[in-house]
Chains A and B, each alone.
Chain A
Amino acid sequence: MVDYKMKLTTEEVDILEGKQGPTLQKAMKSIVLYGETFGAERLLPIDGPVHLVTSFGIPILKPVFDMMEELISSGLATEKKFTVDPRPIDYKNVRCSILEKVVFKIMYGKQKDYEVQLQKVGLKDKNAFTCTCYLPQVGNVPKKGEILSWAESSAVVFANSVIGARSNRNSGVIELLGGIVGKVPEFGLLTDEGRKAKWLIEVKTSKIPEAQVLGSAIGIKVVEDVPYIVGLDKYLGSGISDNAIDYLKDMGAASASNGAVGLYHVEGITPEAIEQKRELLHEGYNIYVIDDEEIKRIIKSYPMLWKDKDLKPKICFIGCPQLSLNQLYGWVEKLSTVLKAKGKSRVAVNTVLCAAPDIAQEFKKDKETYKKLKDMGANLTSICPLMYMNNPLCSKKPVITNSNKLRTYTTARYFVDEEILKIIARGSIKGGEYNG
Chain B
Amino acid sequence: MGRTFKGRAILGGNIKGECVVSHEGVNTLASFQKSALKKAKKVICSDQNNKELYNKNLTGKIMCLPKTIGSTTGGMVLQTIAQMGIGPLAMLFSEHIDSLAAAGIILSEVWTYKRIIAIDQLGNEFLQYVKDGQLIEIKEDGTIFVEGD
Residues of A within 8 A of B (CB): 26, 29-30, 33-34, 37-38, 53-54, 58, 60-64, 66-67, 107, 151-153, 156, 168-175, 188, 223-224, 257, 259-260, 303, 305, 390, 392, 408-409
Contact = CB atoms under 8 A, between A and B. Distances in A.
Given A61-B76, A64-B76, A173-B79, A37 B37 contact: no
Interface in B60-96: 67-76, 79-80, 83-84, 96
Most buried by B among A37, A64, A259: A37
Interface string B104-145: 101111111000000000000000000000000000000000
30 contacts: A30-B106, A30-B107, A30-B111, A37-B106, A38-B99, A58-B37, A60-B36, A60-B37, A60-B84, A61-B80, A63-B80, A63-B111, A63-B112, A64-B76, A64-B80, A67-B111, A107-B37, A152-B72, A153-B70, A168-B99, A170-B103, A171-B74, A172-B103, A174-B106, A174-B107, A224-B67, A305-B48, A392-B38, A408-B30, A409-B29
Contacts of B96: 38
Nearest to B29: A409
User: Mostly helix, strand, loop or mixed at chain B's interface?
Assistant: helix
A170 B37 contact: no
A38 B98 CA distance: 9
Contacts of B100: 169, 171, 260
A30 B106 CA distance: 6
Contact of B76 (A152, A153, A172, A303): A172
A63 B80 CA distance: 6
Contact of B104 (A26, A62, A151, A171): A171
B104 to A, nearest CB: 6
The 10 closest A-B pairs by CB, nearest first: A171-B75, A171-B103, A172-B76, A260-B69, A174-B103, A151-B72, A37-B102, A153-B72, A171-B100, A63-B83
Contacts of A175: 72
Nearest to B51: A303
Contacts of B72: 53, 151-153, 156, 169-172, 175
Q: Which of B27, B99, B111 has the most CB of A within 10 A?
A: B99
B83 A62 contact: yes
B59 interface: no
Contacts of A409: 29-30, 33, 70-71
A173 B110 contact: no
A153 B80 CA distance: 19
A260 B70 contact: yes
Contacts of B75: 171-174
Nearest to B66: A223
Contacts of A54: 73, 76
B110 A26 contact: yes
Given A171-B74, A223-B25, A33 B67 contact: no
Given A60-B36, A171-B99, A174-B106, 17 more contacts: A30-B110, A33-B106, A34-B103, A37-B97, A37-B102, A61-B80, A62-B80, A62-B83, A63-B108, A63-B112, A153-B72, A171-B74, A260-B68, A303-B49, A392-B37, A409-B29, A409-B30
Nearest to A64: B76
A210 to B, nearest CB: 19
A408 B70 contact: yes
A171 B69 contact: no
B142 to A, nearest CB: 13
B74 A257 contact: no
A62 B33 CA distance: 14
A156 B70 CA distance: 13
A172 B79 CA distance: 10
A171 to B, nearest CB: 3
Contact of B39 (A60, A172, A173, A259): A60
